Amino acid sequence: MKIAVFAGDGIGPEVTREAVRVLEALGLPGLELIEGDVGGAAWRKHGHPLPPQTLAIAHAADAILFGAVGDFQCDHLERALRPEQAILGLRKELGLFANLRPAKVFPGLEDRSALRPEVAGSIDLLIVRELNGDVYFGEKGIRTLPDGRRQGWDMMSYAEDEVRRIAHVGYKAAQGRGGRLCSVDKANVLETSQLWRDVMIEVSAEYPDVELSHLYVDNAAMQLVKSPGQFDVIVTGNLFGDILSDQASMCVGSIGLLASASMAVGTKGLYEPIHGSAPDIAGQDKANPMATILSAAMLLRHSFGREADAARIEAAVAKALEDGFLGGDLGGSHGTRALGDAVLERL
């Protein structure tokens, strides 16, 4: 079980440390942890946010546990050298195309959501986000028009096979859950989305046991607030998935509780909390490590098939929360190390 550990910037090292403690406490056979530098920390040491030695570690590993990247002190750098290029580069190099982001309210935390408790308590969904296409990876630039005005442009596009590949991930996920798949697009105004919808309908013929529905992204955002319990699995593109998954995190109470998996074909994946590097609280023992610990649970489940160990971690996190161990993001006063200790004690 060779796991690359890329802690990154800001609170990344702190929250990753707690997840590693949990993994080590399980006594997993053949566990090997290999650390590597990414983000602003890597740029300072190696001159690049994703240096060759880190890439080599990533390629050799069975799975990657990732902290966070982002450093305002690197804002002056050209885009290719900024910390965020580390995660984009890993997605491209490793073929990580499917982002899985579960969102579920933990018992007892319904009142921590921005929604009414009875609404928040109904949330139990999975967002499947395509990672390799869309406007993030299309051609882009800023040009000067003949009259001297500047114009920024970004190309949004999807190839049919890219949509078909993520569609299968969404349908299979729905088969293992409640059997309902909602495809989110903007087909009323975007040709890219019309192709997306057409392919989603075509692939549905292979999954007669899954109920397919469609929503425009603006309506989907509204429904996530109005009636989130209606959703089982949401599958959508890169841009819409980025926005909706962050919205879902606040519906459940805190971005500090949400884990994610970015999967390649097969079992290789990168696992990370969906929050950022939060440099304003870095090194102060204030960060909530629960999302990173839950990411480690997803790592065991999806890359190694260790469902029992993953469930153990998730149960320990749920019990710690139920017992009142809350970070500052949830209105509590427990620090990073104390929250990690609480999970370990319940493991």
The residues carrying an active-site annotation are 136, 186, 218, 242, 246
Residue 167 and residue 203 in contact, taking contact as beta carbons nearer than 8 Å: yes
Kindly give the residue spans of alpha helices, DSSP state H, lying in the chain. Answer: 12-25, 39-46, 52-60, 85-94, 117-120, 160-175, 191-204, 217-226, 238-252, 290-304, 307-322, 336-346
Burial class (CB in 10 A: 0-12, 13-18, 19+), 143: exposed
Euclidean distance between CA atoms 241 and 103, whole angstroms: 13
What is Dmax (Cα atoms) for the chain? 67
**From CA 254, how far away is CA 243, in angstroms rounded?**
15
Q: For residue 187, what are the contacts with CB-CB under 8 A and spacing of at least 6? A: 193, 194, 196, 197, 214, 216
Give me the residues paired with residue 66 across strands.
6
Per the CB < 8 A criterion, the answer to whether 42 and 49 are in contact is: yes
Enumerate the H helices of 5-158 as residue ranges.
12-25, 39-46, 52-60, 85-94, 117-120
d(CA 58, CA 4): 6
Nearest to 41 by CA among 76, 3, 82, 97: 82
Radius of gyration of the chain (CA): 20
Ramachandran bin of 216, using left for φ above 0, alpha for ψ from -120 to 50, beta for the remaining angles: beta
Q: Where are the beta strands (DSSP E) in 155-283?
A: 180-185, 211-216, 233-236, 259-263, 269-273
Are the C-beta atoms of residues 248 and 103 closer than 8 Å to each other?
Answer: yes
How far is it, in rounded angstroms, from Cα 271 to Cα 140? 28
